[in-house]
């Protein structure tokens, strides 16, 4: 009988709470009856957090020169999103906006007071989902790239020992590293240039520096065109 007492008291207290605050009362009632909360669907999160506006349907139809992100390694996606939100990865200035390239993404996910609009759990759900989607590419070039151009890029890829970390044709990267096959040429070009010039230094990008620091703009252009033409789904 003794053990019942607190329960009775609680039962009496709830209607009192309800009378003062219908909102709190509603939440309590819901929590008591609902099953364990379902994790939000990744696809819904992708829409709600506005990722789709820039990276396109299923992460494979990004706008402008923004990266396609479907099929990238989950750990790589997670660290990049966090680095962008923490301002550790900003990139060179976008010629259209005049701001660092990653600033638009940060602006959509962090308020002007520095409050995050996305949690670590939500980033993980999105990264796991995106990593399982089919990557975009090969990218369409108009006019089509010449065979000579592709061959020059392929030769530079071999000579540059890129394969050590990004795998054959940029398509079988080491765990936690980005796939390059089928990515947009303009995006790859900017990233390689930013890493070479010490503008992008986040994560493990410094490891790549010895391999890119002697590359000319011309070689970076050929490498990017070549990689954009590899079918990542093969």
Contact positions vs ligand HEC (CB under 6 A): 49-51, 53-55, 66-67, 69, 72, 77, 80-81, 91, 101-102, 104-105, 108-109, 118, 126, 160-162, 164-166, 177-178, 180, 188, 190-192, 202-205, 207-208, 211-212, 223
Query: Please, what is the minimum distance in Å from the beta carbon of residue 211 to ligand HEC?
Result: 4
Angle at 128 between CA 77 and CA 165, to 5 degrees: 45
Long-range contacts of 56-61 (CB under 8 A, 24+ apart): 58/133, 58/134, 59/130, 59/133, 59/136, 60/133, 60/134, 60/135, 60/136, 61/136
CA 93 to CA 28: how far, in whole Å? 49
Long-range contacts of 30-34 (CB under 8 A, 24+ apart): none
Query: Please, what is the minimum distance in Å from the beta carbon of residue 103 to ligand HEC?
Result: 8
Query: Please, what is the minimum distance in Å from the beta carbon of residue 210 to ligand HEC?
Result: 8
Query: Cβ closer to ligand HEC: 28 or 128?
Result: 128
Query: Cβ closer to ligand HEC: 43 or 141?
Result: 43
Query: Please, what is the minimum distance in Å from the beta carbon of residue 18 to ligand HEC?
Result: 38
Query: Cβ closer to ligand HEC: 190 or 230?
Result: 190
Query: Please, what is the minimum distance in Å from the beta carbon of residue 29 to ligand HEC?
Result: 33
Tokens of 204: 């493990």
Query: Cβ closer to ligand HEC: 25 or 83?
Result: 83
Query: Cβ closer to ligand HEC: 51 or 230?
Result: 51
CA 17 to CA 14: how far, in whole Å? 5
CA 182 to CA 226: how far, in whole Å? 9
């Amino acid at each position: 009988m003794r053990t019942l007492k607190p329960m009775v008291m609680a039962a009496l207290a709830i209607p009192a709470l309800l009378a003062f605050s219908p909102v709190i009362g509603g939440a309590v009632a819901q929590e008591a009856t609902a099953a364990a909360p379902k994790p939000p669907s990744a696809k819904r999160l992708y829409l709600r957090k506005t990722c789709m506006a820039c990276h396109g349907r299923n992460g494979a139809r990004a706008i402008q020169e923004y990266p396609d992100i479907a099929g990238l390694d989950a750990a790589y996606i997670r660290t990049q999103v966090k680095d962008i939100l923490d301002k550790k990865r900003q990139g060179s200035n976008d010629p259209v906006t005049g701001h660092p390239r990653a600033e638009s993404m940060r602006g959509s996910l962090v308020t002007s007071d520095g409050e995050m609009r996305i949690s670590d759990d939500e980033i993980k759900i999105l990264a796991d989902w995106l990593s399982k989607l089919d990557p975009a590419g090969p990218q369409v070039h108009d006019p089509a790239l010449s065979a000579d151009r592709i061959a020059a890029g392929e030769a530079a890829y071999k000579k540059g020992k890129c394969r050590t970390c990004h795998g054959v044709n940029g398509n079988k990267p080491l765990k936690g590293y980005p796939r390059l096959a089928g990515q947009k040429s303009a995006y790859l070009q900017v990233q390689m240039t930013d890493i070479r010039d010490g503008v992008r230094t986040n994560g493990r990008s410094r490891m790549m520096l010895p391999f890119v620091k002697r590359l000319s703009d011309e070689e970076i252009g050929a490498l990017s065109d070549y990689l954009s033409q590899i079918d990542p789904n093969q």
